[in-house]
């Protein structure tokens, strides 16, 4: 596969780069400049993939195979250029080509802007799955929205988070292929009108609608050196001509342009996952926009294959709903099948249930989506009618099976009544799907035994688990070239396609020579990161210290506060000289807080304030440093993770559905300090109890403590170090200019019951951290643990996850 074909030679690459600089960009190729040559290289690499992409798409038609539609409002693909280069197996050629122009490939790569089309875990998972679908040759597509503005750009000003607009398409992206000929009309508002068909049956049609066009924009997702290129199709809103004409005819030019602009707002901006997602009309418009466009595309392809009946639709189409964000799909497919294709309700419903499957990503009650009946009724009147009819039939059925159980009807209904009438999107997704999965074993168990217990009783076997995974291509091969090379030198490169091969490393865990090489690679990565931090923040950090990282969205359940309390405790111990000797640590924090989540934003300020106090205290010196890296994103994660010694995975047990950062760290040889939550449990199972730092209450403990009897104040009173740390926060030690600034944080822990059980886990966490330091002082032990972490991570490849989805849920096989 890697054997250079003619267009893979350095010379042909150089010709193409210069040709693109001159003829695509219209720029003078001399002298070679970074920005232009970066683009020239992008177009040259793109050319080499486009042929494979066309061939792959054609092969789907030729084999008339079942296809997977992965529907997600979010994707976080990270930078593309290196991913494409490595997929083509052309890294050396590209390095040499640009070197000949006096440029450096690594510098060119930094020119690319991160497409931040997602919030965090859910979006990044979707992109890992796209990579694995392509590498495993699963025929499928990703579908989403091409937002003009991705997740906000975070800066830290005086310790506070500031949000800036992320206008990532400001300069056209070479990776986005606009398909002006794939445009679909999308309707909104209007009303549902009853009429009688020729056979005298009552039927409905959706009339008096407002409309907008959805234009397809495609991004290639290549498999790793296998010639398979999957398509990610993102929709962009374009105003309709009709809309304009109507205004123009009335002589209202400005009105025409204004409504054009407004209708195009649909794909303008990604919604940050704020504490409460309710009531955002534009968000529901986005959801339906992308669903309606995607289904027109799905049906276009289905029809192209000349099917005589819709009965075989589920044999051709599998639709995966990435959380409930695309769940309105179920009502949309019913509308198409019943209103437009004239199928009976029963037939249409059977087709729906055989087509959809739904992945849940969170059990936090505030994150479960609902839409008011009023809003859906206004924006999607026919869909609301359909949802009511689905609910009527469903509750009828439940009533027959469980007579007299009014409580059950209330808990299962698609409509919640307690807070004004709301449609529960998770309930719609569950009853409209054949399979519902959680994303780690514990999470899937919680879905069955707590959150959706009644549904599990009703539909035994519908709930299942697919533990998340990450792509080894981006998260080891690309992010950590030095470690990849070391691994390759002893076990070869098969792990890139089949991560289980990493287990062969275990044989080297105690080999002193291998250990030394392992340590050298890790040291080198830490030095690279130290240089990056110095460049970005002007802060010097010592690569010889223990690199302790807590990088993820800022949320109370992820308990950055627990980490901060540990930092303050270390600080106090250093200052009082109460530790015989301390293992020097550098604490890394990174992550965004939802713009409307005040407590999370205050936590960011606290981290920075503690950092300022600690870093500025001469008594501390090198022993403790705290850095907060602004604007966490995929590219930043790629720099941080390979340099981590310790990975903080310390959520309240039962609250982190899976986590995927935890997998990235362990794969790169960091050790985890973590609770029995999400995929931590499964990571610990495979790497071994001895190679994992465990602490904290279990999910069952948490459930019990939440049922009553938990008293954080008593813990505070009885733990001197904890009391001191909290008192420092609440009395303004870290905010002398505003002593009461951090009171809300301390109040949430003491006055408001400490819902996330920070105090309950504090003592065990601090004790386990001491064990971390002790192990770190024994390099042979630490290195052995590190190697064994990497060696045992085979299970967490997203290739494994995707093959489980393919076999057990989608019923599709890889193309041969």
Q: How many CB atoms lie within 10 A of CB 803?
A: 18
Q: Enumerate residues 6+ apart whose C-beta is below 8 A from 66.
A: 139, 315, 316, 317, 318, 810, 811, 812
DSSP 330-375: HHHHHHIIIIIS---HHHHHHHHHHHEEEE-----GGGS-EEEHHH
Interaction pattern, residues 455-484, with ligand 475; x per rule: CB under 6 A: -------------x----------------
Told to check if 125 binds ligand 475 by CB under 6 A, we report yes
The answer to whether residue 660 is catalytic is yes
Q: Is 66 a catalytic residue?
A: no
Rounded CA gap, 756 and 451, in Å? 18
C-beta closer to ligand 475: residue 656 or 682: 656
Q: One of 14, 361, 522, 592 is an active-site residue; which one?
A: 361
CB of 362 to ligand 475, least distance (A): 4
In the set 48, 558, 566, 784, the catalytic residue is 558
Is residue 807 annotated as part of the catalytic site, yes or no? no
Q: How crowded is the C-beta side of 71, counted as CA atoms within 13 Å?
A: 30
Which region among 450-458, 523-531, 625-633, 655-663 touches ligand 475 (by CB under 6 A)? 655-663
Q: How far is the CB of 657 from ligand 475 (least distance, A)?
A: 4
Q: Which is nearer to ligand 475, 324 or 792 (CB)?
A: 324
* Selected range binding ligand 475 among 218-226, 566-574, 624-632, 653-661, rule: CB under 6 A: 653-661
Contact with ligand 475 (CB under 6 A): which of 49, 81, 368, 439? 439
The stretch among 117-125, 200-208, 333-341, 495-503 that binds ligand 475 (CB under 6 A) is 117-125
Residues 668-687 that bind ligand 475 (CB under 6 A): 678
Site for ligand 475 in 128-147 (CB under 6 A): none
Q: To 10 degrees, what angle do helices 10-19 and 34-63 make?
A: 110
Residue 735 DSSP one-character state: -
Q: Is 639 a catalytic residue?
A: no
Query: Within 13 Å of residue 612, how many CA atoms lie on the same side as its CB?
Result: 15
Preceding peptide of 31 cis, ω within 30°: yes
Residue 462 CB, nearest distance to ligand 475 (Å)?
Answer: 19
Binding flag, residue 660, ligand 475 (CB under 6 A):
yes
For tokens 């005086």, name the residue.
Answer: 158
Which CB sits closer to ligand 475, 273 or 480?
Answer: 273
Pairing status of strand 463-465 against strand 435-438: parallel
Closest to ligand 475 by CB, 432 or 659: 659
Taking only Cα atoms into account, the Rg of the chain, rounded to an integer number of angstroms, comes to: 27
| CA gap 40, 17 in Å, rounded | 5
CA dihedral 326, 331, 333, 334 (to 10 degrees): 170
Residue linked to tokens 């495993």: 136
Report the nearest approach of ligand 475 to the CB of residue 296 (Å).
Answer: 24
Catalytic residue among 664, 684, 697, 784: 664
| Identified binder of ligand 475 from the candidate list 56, 86, 119, 652, rule CB under 6 A | 119
Dihedrals phi, psi of 166, to nearest 5 degrees = -105, 85
Task: State the virtual CA torsion across 275, 278, 279, 284 in degrees, nearest 10.
Answer: 110
- Site map for ligand 475, 246-275, x if CB under 6 A? ---------------------------x--
Stretch that binds ligand 475, among 113-121, 152-160, 681-689, 783-791 (CB under 6 A): 113-121
Using Cβ positions, the residue closest to ligand 475 within the complex turns out to be 121
Q: Is there binding between residue 122 and ligand 475 (CB under 6 A)?
A: yes
* Residue 292 DSSP SS3: helix
- CB nearer ligand 475, residue 361 or residue 550: 361
Q: Is 190 in the site for ligand 475 (CB under 6 A)?
A: no
CA gap 504, 492 in Å, rounded: 10
Answer yes or no whether residue 656 interacts with ligand 475 by CB under 6 A.
yes
Q: Which tokens in the block code for residue 419?
A: 């807070």
The stretch near ligand 475 (CB under 6 A) out of 121-129, 225-233, 634-642, 728-736 is: 121-129
Closest to 264 (Cα-Cα) out of 375, 145, 173: 145
The residues that bridge with 193 in the sheet, in sequence order, are 205
* 652 is a site residue for ligand 475 (CB under 6 A): no
Helix axes 743-750, 720-730, angle to 10 degrees: 140
For 420, which DSSP code?
B
Q: Which member of 568, 633, 641, 657 binds ligand 475 (CB under 6 A)?
A: 657
Answer whether 595's CB lies under 8 Å from 272's CB.
Answer: yes
Q: Is 131 exposed, middle or buried (0-12, 13-18, 19+ CB in 10 A)?
A: buried
Comparison of 118 and 314: residue with beta carbon closer to ligand 475? 118
Q: Which is nearer to ligand 475, 40 or 121 (CB)?
A: 121
Residue 792 found at the interface with ligand 475 (CB under 6 A): no
In angstroms, give the least distance from the CB of 113 to ligand 475. Answer: 21
78: left (phi over 0), alpha (psi -120 to 50) or beta: left
Binding mask 358-377 for ligand 475 (x = CB under 6 A): ---xx----x----------
CB closer to ligand 475, 255 vs 595: 595
Q: Which of 124, 553, 605, 625 is catalytic?
A: 553
Region of 328-336, 487-495, 658-666, 721-729 interacting with ligand 475 (CB under 6 A):
658-666
Q: How many residues bind ligand 475 (CB under 6 A)?
A: 17
Q: Respond yes or no: is residue 703 known to be catalytic.
A: no
Question: Would residue 664 show up in a list of annotated catalytic residues for this protein?
Answer: yes
Tokens, residue 374: 């009023």
Q: Interacting stretch for ligand 475, rule CB under 6 A, among 377-385, 570-578, 654-662, 718-726? A: 654-662
Binding site for ligand 475 (CB under 6 A): 119-122, 125, 273, 361-362, 367, 439, 468, 656-660, 678
Which residues have a catalytic role annotated?
Answer: 361, 552-553, 558, 660, 664
């Amino acid at each position: 596969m890697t054997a250079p074909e003619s267009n893979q030679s350095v010379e042909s690459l150089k010709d193409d780069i210069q040709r693109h600089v001159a003829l695509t960009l219209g720029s003078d190729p001399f002298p070679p400049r970074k920005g232009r040559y970066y683009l020239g290289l992008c177009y040259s690499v793109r050319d080499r993939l486009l042929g494979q992409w066309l061939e792959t798409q054609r092969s789907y038609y030729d084999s008339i195979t079942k296809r997977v539609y992965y529907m997600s409002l979010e994707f976080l693909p990270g930078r593309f250029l290196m991913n494409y280069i490595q997929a083509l197996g052309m890294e050396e050629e590209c390095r040499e080509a640009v070197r000949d122009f006096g440029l450096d490939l690594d510098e060119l790569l930094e020119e690319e802007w991160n497409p931040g089309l997602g919030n965090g875990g859910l979006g990044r998972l979707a992109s890992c799955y796209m990579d694995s679908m392509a590498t495993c040759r699963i025929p499928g597509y990703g579908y989403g929205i091409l937002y003009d503005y991705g997740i906000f750009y975070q800066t830290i000003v005086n310790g506070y988070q500031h949000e800036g607009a992320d206008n990532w398409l400001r300069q056209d992206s070479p990776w986005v292929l606009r398909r002006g000929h794939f445009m679909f009309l999308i309707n909104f508002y209007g009303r549902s009108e009853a009429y009688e068909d020729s056979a005298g049956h009552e039927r409905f049609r959706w009339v008096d609608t407002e409309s907008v066009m959805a234009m397809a924009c495609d991004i290639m997702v290549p498999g790793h050196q296998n010639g398979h290129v999957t398509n990610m199709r993102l929709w962009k809103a374009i105003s309709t001509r009709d809309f304009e004409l109507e205004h123009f005819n009335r002589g209202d030019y400005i009105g025409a342009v204004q409504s054009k602009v407004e209708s195009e707002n649909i794909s303008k901006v990604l919604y940050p996952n704020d504490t409460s997602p309710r009531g955002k009309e534009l968000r529901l418009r986005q959801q339906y926009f992308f669903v309606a466009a995607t289904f027109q595309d799905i049906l276009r392809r289905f029809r192209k294959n000349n099917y005589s009946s819709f009965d075989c639709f589920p044999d051709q189409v599998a639709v995966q709903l990435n959380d409930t964000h695309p769940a309105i799909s179920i009502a949309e497919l019913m509308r198409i099948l019943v209103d437009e294709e004239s199928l009976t309700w029963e037939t249409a419903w059977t087709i729906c249930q055989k087509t959809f499957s739904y992945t849940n990503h969170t059990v936090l009650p505030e994150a479960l989506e609902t839409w008011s009946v009023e809003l859906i009724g206004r924006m999607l009147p026919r869909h609301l009618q359909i949802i009511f009819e689905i609910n009527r039939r469903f509750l009828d059925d439940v009533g027959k099976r469980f007579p007299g159980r009014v409580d059950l009807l209330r808990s299962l209904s698609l409509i919640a009544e307690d807070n004004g009438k709301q449609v529960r999107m998770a309930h719609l997704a569950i009853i409209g799907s054949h399979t519902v999965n959680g994303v780690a074993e514990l999470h899937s168990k919680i879905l069955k035994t707590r959150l959706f217990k009644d549904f599990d009783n009703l539909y035994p076997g519908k709930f299942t688990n697919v533990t998340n995974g990450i792509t080894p291509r981006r998260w080891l091969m690309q992010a950590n070239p030095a470690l990849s090379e070391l691994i390759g030198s002893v076990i070869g490169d098969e792990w890139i396609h089949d991560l289980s091969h990493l287990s062969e490393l275990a044989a080297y865990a105690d080999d002193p020579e291998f250990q030394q090489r392992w340590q050298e690679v890790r040291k080198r990565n830490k030095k690279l990161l130290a240089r990056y931090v110095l460049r970005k923040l002007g802060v010097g950090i010592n690569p010889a210290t223990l690199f302790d990282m807590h990088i993820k969205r800022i949320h109370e359940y992820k308990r950055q506060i627990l980490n901060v309390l540990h930092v303050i405790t270390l600080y106090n111990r250093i200052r009082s000289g109460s530790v015989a000797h301390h293992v020097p640590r550098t604490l890394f924090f990174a992550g965004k807080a939802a713009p409307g989540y005040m407590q999370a934003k205050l936590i960011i300020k606290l981290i920075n304030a503690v950092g300022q106090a600690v870093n500025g205290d001469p008594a501390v010196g090198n022993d403790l440093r705290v850095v907060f890296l602004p604007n966490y994103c995929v590219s930043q994660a790629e720099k941080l993770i390979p340099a981590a010694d310790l990975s903080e995975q310390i959520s309240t047990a039962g609250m982190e559905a899976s986590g995927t950062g935890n997998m990235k760290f362990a794969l790169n040889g960091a050790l985890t300090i973590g609770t029995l939550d999400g995929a931590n449990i499964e990571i610990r199972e495979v790497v071994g109890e001895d190679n994992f730092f465990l602490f904290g209450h279990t999910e069952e403990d948490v459930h019990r403590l939440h049922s009553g009897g938990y008293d954080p104040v008593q813990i505070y009173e009885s733990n001197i170090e904890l009391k001191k740390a909290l008192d420092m926060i609440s009395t303004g030690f870290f905010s002398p200019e505003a002593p009461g600034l951090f009171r809300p944080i301390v109040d949430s822990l003491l006055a408001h019951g400490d819902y996330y059980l920070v105090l309950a886990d504090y003592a065990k966490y601090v004790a386990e951290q001491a064990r971390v330091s002790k192990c770190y002082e024994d390099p042979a032990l630490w290195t052995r643990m590190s190697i064994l972490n990497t060696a045992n991570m085979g299970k967490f490849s997203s290739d494994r996850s995707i093959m489980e989805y393919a076999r057990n849920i989608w019923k599709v096989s890889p193309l041969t």
